[in-house]
Chain A
């Protein structure tokens, strides 16, 4: 089954404790991205990757890191989480950029206290 898998689904952590949210896709997609969803703001792109070893900032990259060492995986790293990073996070992948369907993971609800 074609899917994007994120883990964990829920995470509560404390300020400053490094964490990683994993994302994996099984569709051999080149393009992957991370979004955060906040009420009234829709989804905003954090980082994206057009292929292995190619990543770039989205609209709200501050406080986040990513890596793309393999085509299927695109982890999101918060080196020192802060309460303003409490949000719902989605990983997405698509075959290419542009007019192609993006497939989304189930989401990770992160709370930073």
Chain B
């Protein structure tokens, strides 16, 4: 059965610093992987998705994620954090339905 694990329920970075949110997946077949973002009091919004066309996936708002099969990882990165990036981030895998990780809350310090 497919599953995802997000390492770290809270991550805090300074504005301008690198953002790294970790996600490891478990899947017996080539996975469909997603990152969603949830801003306060809003629904989830797709940041990016892995389609197997390229291992480095670029998303909205300067985020990208790299699919590493050998490490079963799909970590989300952004070179320079902005205050507006403060939100909760969810990694998800398609396994007959969207299966979400526990979420990582990102806070950005001025």
With A43-B90, A104-B44 already in contact, the answer to whether A99 and B102 are too (CB < 8 A) is: no
A44 to B90, CA, bound (A): 12
Q: Which residue of A lies closest to B97 (CB)?
A: A45
Interface residues of chain B, those whose CB is within 8 Å of chain A, are: 9, 32, 36, 41-46, 49, 51, 90, 94, 96-98, 100-103
Inter-subunit contact B94/A107 (CB<8 Å): no
Which chain B residues border A43 with CB–CB below 8 Å? Answer: 44, 90, 98, 100
Q: Contact string, A50-83, partner B, CB cutoff 8 A, digits 1/0? A: 0000000010000000000000000000000000
Q: Which residue of A lies closest to B9 (CB)?
A: A40
Which chain A residues border B96 with CB–CB below 8 Å? Answer: 97
Q: How far is the CB of B94 from chain A (nearest CB, A)?
A: 6
B interface: dominant SS: loop
Number of A-B contacts (CB under 8 A): 50
Q: Which residue of B lies closest to A40 (CB)?
A: B102
Q: Which residue of A lies closest to B103 (CB)?
A: A42
A101 to B34, CA, bound (A): 9
> Which range holds the interface residue count of chain A?
20 to 34
Q: Contact string, A4-25, partner B, CB cutoff 8 A, digits 1/0? A: 1000000000000000000000
